[in-house]
Structure formats: structure tokens, C-alpha cells
């Protein structure tokens, strides 16, 4: 699959410091002509707060330390970026087998909201259907199929 044919590929840029963890993770690989080789590398989730996926060098990437040309020629306000300190890469979501079931696990530190119950002295004939208060307002819009298209 080429980079352009994938539906779930996006372009990402990482700002790289001299001791950046991204520089160690994704090394530049070049062919005999000096063009960047686009090979997908699984992304280490610990480097991105648990986000998983694959990254590859972007086909139009400018190497770190190289000159990124401005799209505005002969402009005083928008000069070329020299040196480039961004790693330009393509990202794609991880691929799971068909029918894969994601585990439902409660994350550490999550607190459950207080349950909202109908009061014991509630009379359904007097007040209609019980609707709990959510948030700071009593006015919660209700919809029905008859309201569609209005």
C-alpha cells in the first residue's frame, strides 16, 4: 500500500530537540539515489501517552537541520526555515483483525458519577414521567419522531 492510497494516513510533525526521543525512534533510511525510504514503523505507545499506530517519513520531508523552503517566494515576513527542527512523518492507525473485540477495562483513577434515582415520594400521576436533573438546568429538550424535519 502506498502512502497516498491509505484512507487512514495523516501527516504529523514532531518538534525535535537535540536529545529528542523521536530522533532515536525513527531513523532516516535512504536509497542509493538519496531519496528517503518510506517504511512503516510501529509507533511506541509510551512515547505518545498510550497512542498506538505506525509512522513513516513523509515523502516530502525535509531532514532535521536542513532548509525548509517558504511557500511565499520573495517575502520578508515568511522566510525559509533554517535550520528545520521538525520531523515530518505520516501516521496511520493500527490495524486489527476483523471481528477484534476491544477489552472494556476501567482506567486507573476513574471515579464513577453519583447515581440519580427517582425520589421515593415521587407520584407518577401527578408529575408525569420522571426526568432527573442533569447539570444546572431543569429545561432539557426532548425529541420525538414526530418532531423530525421541523
Backbone CA torsion sign across 132, 136, 139, 142:
negative
State the DSSP string of 56-99. EE-TT---TTS-B--SSTT-SSS--BSS--EEEEEEEPPP--TT
pTM of the model: 0.45
CA distance 54 to 65: 24
DSSP letter, residue 26: S
11 backbone dihedrals φ, ψ, rounded to 5°: -95, 130
pLDDT of residue 5 exceeding 50: no
Comparing 72 with 133, the larger pLDDT belongs to 72
Per-residue pLDDT tens over the stretch 92-122: 888 889 999 988 888 888 887 776 666 666 6
CA distance 21 to 17: 9
For 121, the 3-state DSSP assignment is: coil
* Averaged confidence pLDDT in the chain: 70
pLDDT of residue 27 exceeding 80: no
- Write down the pLDDT at residue 62: 76
Amino acid at each position: 500500500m502506498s502512502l497516498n492510497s491509505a484512507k487512514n494516513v495523516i501527516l504529523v510533525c514532531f518538534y525535535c530537540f537535540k536529545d529528542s526521543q523521536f530522533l532515536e525512534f525513527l531513523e532516516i533510511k535512504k536509497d542509493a539515489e538519496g531519496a528517503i525510504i518510506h517504511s512503516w514503523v510501529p509507533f511506541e505507545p509510551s512515547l505518545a501517552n498510550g497512542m498506538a499506530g505506525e509512522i513513516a517519513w513523509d515523502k516530502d520531508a525535509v531532514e532535521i537541520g536542513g532548509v525548509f523552503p517558504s511557500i511565499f517566494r520573495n517575502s520578508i515576513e515568511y522566510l525559509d526555515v533554517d535550520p528545520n527542527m521538525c520531523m515530518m512523518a505520516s501516521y496511520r492507525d493500527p490495524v486489527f483483525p476483523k471481528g477484534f473485540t476491544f477489552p472494556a477495562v476501567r482506567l486507573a483513577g476513574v471515579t464513577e458519577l453519583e447515581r440519580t434515582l427517582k425520589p421515593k415520594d415521587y407520584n407518577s400521576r401527578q408529575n408525569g414521567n420522571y426526568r432527573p436533573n442533569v447539570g444546572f438546568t431543569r429545561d432539557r429538550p426532548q425529541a420525538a419522531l414526530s418532531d423530525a424535519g421541523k
